Amino acid sequence: MAEIELRGIEKRYGEVPVLKGVSLKIQDGEFLTLVGPSGCGKSTLLRIIAGLEDQDAGEVSVGGRTVDGARPKDRDVAMVFQSYALYPHLTVFDNIALPLRTRRLSFAQRLPLIGGLLPGRTGIEKTIRVEVEQAAAMLDVAHLLHRKPGQLSGGQRQRVALGRAMVRHPTVFLMDEPLSNLDAKLRVQMRAEITALHRRLGVTFVYVTHDQSEAMTMADRVAVVIGGELLQVGPPDELYRDPRDLKVAEMIGSPKINVVARGHWADDRPILSAALAPQTKHLAFRPEAAVLTTPTAGLPGGTVTDLENLGSDIFVHVALRDGSETVVIRTAPDEPRLSLGRAVGLKVDAARLLQFDEAGRRCGDIEQVAA
């Protein structure tokens, strides 16, 4: 059993606060991604869980056991790094075998040359060989065991790094942007492989990424970290549908959510069936939450400035007539083609319109949408 619990984690580098009191509970066997822009503190949080860095305040427990001050190797966690961090002078076999050797062989048995002569070593090495070969076979790198990391492709290195992490059956996997050094096609493929691995091993995965699409496609739950704060945790579709903060709404979803200032869509116009809350300052809606119409008096509208044809969808960029904002609307490819510069009207689905106050917090409709 390895649920992870973080209680009020704080971390600062000198005067700069990196984490401002993060509390989070990760269930046993869950796949949780930490997503946020660069420098938001998500990697630091992962390193604190791993024990590679010490927090300034707060507690970490893994499997119900407080691990503050415990060394990484005593926390029963495995980690996969962005740069793979394979030992370049060791073969793939030795790379994968290393965590087993450091744990099972005594100090004397690990010594070069004389270590091999000590009693017991041969037997341990035999079981290690079996386990390394099993892990390698599972990740489809069994034919590469005698090679050095320098002779492998990026995807193969990533698999070896996964193998090194899983060979000793840790209860927690920590992954720090493991796919960001791969090309786009391989990244999509490895996403699927990692989620399959998670289902197969059934242990807790904590996965750090800045790529919201990775977070959305892979995770059971997504935790959005921005500016050292944990803004929201929830299943991907909940974050997409029901963001509690404007920053979360903007982080999740591609293309980005449309945000317009309330002033541009004055209350007195009959654009909305729902009444806006008095404190509402920003209105936001997803590209699929609005439809384009012919220009209509009383409805917001603008001119088409760009068309993005993805085959399955066409994203229409509309520069609003009464403001500087551009919004993006999703249309189906079978709808009549629009031409650039054409004037259109905009009809937003009031039920899917999100309201945010001055500080970017959700307001107004929150109870209604959550229900």
Could you say whether residue 283 binds another protein (CB under 8 A)?
no
Neighbouring residues of 221: CB distance < 8 A, sequence distance ≥ 6: 30, 31, 32, 33, 233, 234, 235, 236
Contacting residue, 8, 87, 153, 267, with another protein by CB under 8 A: 87
- Cβ distance 292 to 316 under 8 Å? yes
Min separation Cβ 154 and another protein, Å: 13
Could you say whether residue 107 binds another protein (CB under 8 A)?
yes
Q: Which string of x and - marks every residue 310-349 that binds another protein (by CB under 8 A)?
A: ----------------------------------------
Min separation Cβ 226 and another protein, Å: 25
Nearest CB to another protein, comparing residues 98 and 363: 98
- Whether residue 255 is preceded by a cis peptide bond, meaning omega within 30 degrees of 0, is yes
Could you say whether residue 13 binds another protein (CB under 8 A)?
no
- Cβ distance 1 to 47 under 8 Å? no
Could you say whether residue 52 binds another protein (CB under 8 A)?
yes
Could you say whether residue 79 binds another protein (CB under 8 A)?
yes
Of 363, 354, 359, the residue nearest 252 (C-alpha): 354
Nearest CB to another protein, comparing residues 98 and 346: 98
Distance CA 361, CA 5 (A): 26
Distance CA 347, CA 364 (A): 20
Nearest CB to another protein, comparing residues 54 and 308: 54
Could you say whether residue 50 binds another protein (CB under 8 A)?
yes
CA atoms lying within 13 Å on the CB side of residue 299: 17
Distance CA 99, CA 110 (A): 12
Enumerate binding residues for another protein (CB under 8 A): 47, 50-52, 71-73, 77-79, 81-83, 85-90, 98-99, 102-103, 107, 110, 112, 148, 150, 164
